[in-house]
Chain A
Amino acid sequence: MAVEVADPGAAMVARIAGGTARRRRRRLRNWPLLAGAILLGLVALACLAAPVLANHDPLTQDLLNPAAPPFSPGHLLGTDAPYGRDVLSRLLYAGRIDLLIGFGGTGVTVIVGSFIGLLAGYYGGRIDSVLMRIVDVFFAFPFLVLVLAIVAMLGPSLLNIFIAIWAVSWVSYARIIRGETLVAKKQEYVLAARALGYSDLRVMLRHILPNVFSAALIFSMADAVGNILLGSALGYLGAGVPPPTPEWGSMIADGETFMVTAWWVPTIPGLAIVIVGVALSLLGDGLADLLRPNA
């Protein structure tokens, strides 16, 4: 009698082999990172190329042609009311300022705040107490009120908005990184690094920071959106970038009145903020995956 020798594993290999290849392709792609980077890259590129792409001066008024709808001749996204300025041109120039506030504000605070948090968490003791009490003082004030107070004191300008953001929002990063550092510094690999004679700075920057930074980075993506909105809010309150310089927030505020008759005037800059927000959060997700190879 012939005995049929069947390998029950063979069928299984055949069944899942295609799947693993697919999975590998998918993992390599890291689509949130890619999508976020592409989306943000396009927006940033468009804003940088504003002098080339915009076919009108963002400040030139055309009082005879206000509230022209999108796809009007010469005005792809229409004109605003009541001045008749080209919405596309304003949108692109505004993006330059908003992205600058988003990245300039966040970039500095994430670095400074993380380093302060690292110092506090790693050394602990008196250094930690002093730094964290300062953080507590900042947290005790409502964020917007504090920023508003600083801007009001220094006078409304782009630089002063930066100064206000730098002064206030490093505290979130300091607190996030400090908490993560407290956990990470107890890990055996930190002890092992110290046993290898690495300096405190090397242990902090090469061994602790890469393991804790993803939390700050993900938060920074949300924070960048927050800073863009903050720039807009300040503009709305008259403490932002002085008019008539275009800025997404002030475009929304100005167009608000015409929501019913010219919906595109406030809606289009709003969509721009949404797109940047989505791009940044996708980027945050993607970076988190990239930075944690075993997650």
Chain B
Amino acid sequence: MTGEPLLSVRDLRTFFVTDRGVLRAVDGVSFDLYAGETFGIVGESGSGKSVTCRSLIGLLPSPPAHTTGTVRFGGRNLVGLPMSEMQKVRGAQISMIFQDPMSSLNPVMSVGDQIAEAMEAHTSLNRAERRKAAIELMRSVGIPLAGRRAGAYPHEFSGGMRQRVLIAIALACRPKILLADEPTTALDVTIQDQILSLLLSLRDEFGMSIILVSHDLGVIAETCTRVAVMYGGQIVEMTDTETLLTHPRHPYTVGLLRSLPGTETGSRYLTPIPGAPPSLIDPPPGCRFYERCSLRTEQCRDWPAELLTVGQNHLARCLRHEHVEEIA
């Protein structure tokens, strides 16, 4: 990837104050997003991928959340931006869709109105124009009989159709970036596939970039140009999708790949990663994957655990990245 990134994240940290101490949910995340690409963030529950996504547009309530670092977008830093300024960015330039299409729509407002409302908040279109544009959007996201369905309420739609409505709402103001937080997790596999290909075709049609958050490496592999693997609030490996799948350089990525069902691996059984992720309240110094790693050495424990350049556009947070091939 070359040229100026659209969004540039540096040392993003989001900590939560809890009764048991300070939880380091996102701990120094840096990445760039370029125009027109789909960037994937993959990791297990609690790895900080959703919190990363929400921190980008300041969606987490503070307190208990505290965010530092820089999120450079359109010449300014979104972290610490006043609420009124942030509200002009959200929905208009950076939109977000959520995991559960069943509960992310207002149950007492017709879907057409909900799509039109996004335009009411961010554009100067009049009522008739908004309605027309809403129906047009419903058509672009593949809702049949859009004109007639615009007056229907969310409970009259299936899960897949609701996710399409949510996408239409998110795209109503033609944002430059779409944050998709597990957009297909609540849907069954056939619908999942439809929604993913819809997202990709809309990305090209609207000329936007997508950050796709998922726990499912399969979904990421299908859609993303570049991927960051998160573990324990940090990015542990980041490269293009092809390289990640074929030449992983972090033992955790290898573990993720081996726990993925596939026909080409030849293995009849999935291999789980033993153990559980570390507590993010007072996390251990050194490598956070240490406890579960099959390649660990004594050095790993008190190593500053930084991202190392292990290839062209390939970063991995592993001291023994040269040996990862041996277990892959």
Contacts and interface: CB of A to CB of B under 8 A. Distances in A.
Contact of B91 (A197, A207, A211): A197
Interface in A266-295: 291-294
Contact of A198 (B91, B154, B155): B91
Interface stretch (B96-104, B245-253, B294-302, B310-318): B96-104
A196 B91 contact: yes
Nearest to B172: A196
Contact of A188 (B90, B104, B109, B118): B104
B121 A189 contact: no
A195 B94 CA distance: 9
Interface in B107-164: 107-109, 117-118, 121-122, 153-155
B153 A192 contact: no
A294 B59 contact: no
Nearest to B101: A188
A157 interface: no
Contact of A210 (B57, B109, B117): B109
A261 interface: no
Kindly state the interface size class of chain B when it binds its partner: 20 to 34
B289 to A, nearest CB: 31
A72 interface: no
- Which of A193, A195, A207, A293 gathers most chain B CB within 10 Å? A195
B107 A194 contact: no
Given A188-B100, A188-B104, A293-B108, A206 B90 contact: no
Contact of B90 (A195, A202, A291): A195
Contact of B121 (A192, A196, A210, A211): A196
Interface stretch (B17-25, B72-80, B81-89, B208-216): B81-89
Contacts, number: 74
Contact of A195 (B96, B108, B153): B96
11 contacts: A189-B103, A189-B106, A194-B59, A195-B59, A195-B98, A196-B96, A196-B170, A197-B86, A197-B88, A202-B121, A210-B109
Interface in A179-199: 187-189, 191-199
B92 A197 contact: yes
B95 interface: yes
A153 B118 CA distance: 51
Interface in A159-205: 187-189, 191-199, 202
Given A188-B98, A199-B121, A207-B106, 6 more contacts: A191-B104, A197-B122, A198-B117, A199-B87, A210-B109, A293-B108
B90 A211 contact: no
Given A206-B117, A211-B106, A196 B89 contact: no
Interface of B: 57, 59, 86-92, 95-96, 98, 100, 103-109, 117-118, 121-122, 153-155, 166, 169-170
Given A195-B59, A196-B95, A206 B109 contact: yes
Contact of A196 (B90, B108, B109, B153): B90
Interface in A197-236: 197-199, 202, 206-207, 210-211
A81 B57 CA distance: 74
Nearest to A189: B106
B98 A191 contact: yes
Contacts of A193: 106
Contacts of B108: 210-211, 291-293
B41 to A, nearest CB: 17
Contacts of B106: 189, 193, 206-207, 210-211
B103 A187 contact: yes
Given A197-B91, A294-B153, A189 B118 contact: no
Contacts of A202: 121
Contacts of B100: 188
Contacts of A210: 106, 108-109
A188 B103 contact: yes
Contacts of A206: 106, 109, 117
A195 B93 CA distance: 11
Contact of B87 (A187, A197, A207): A197
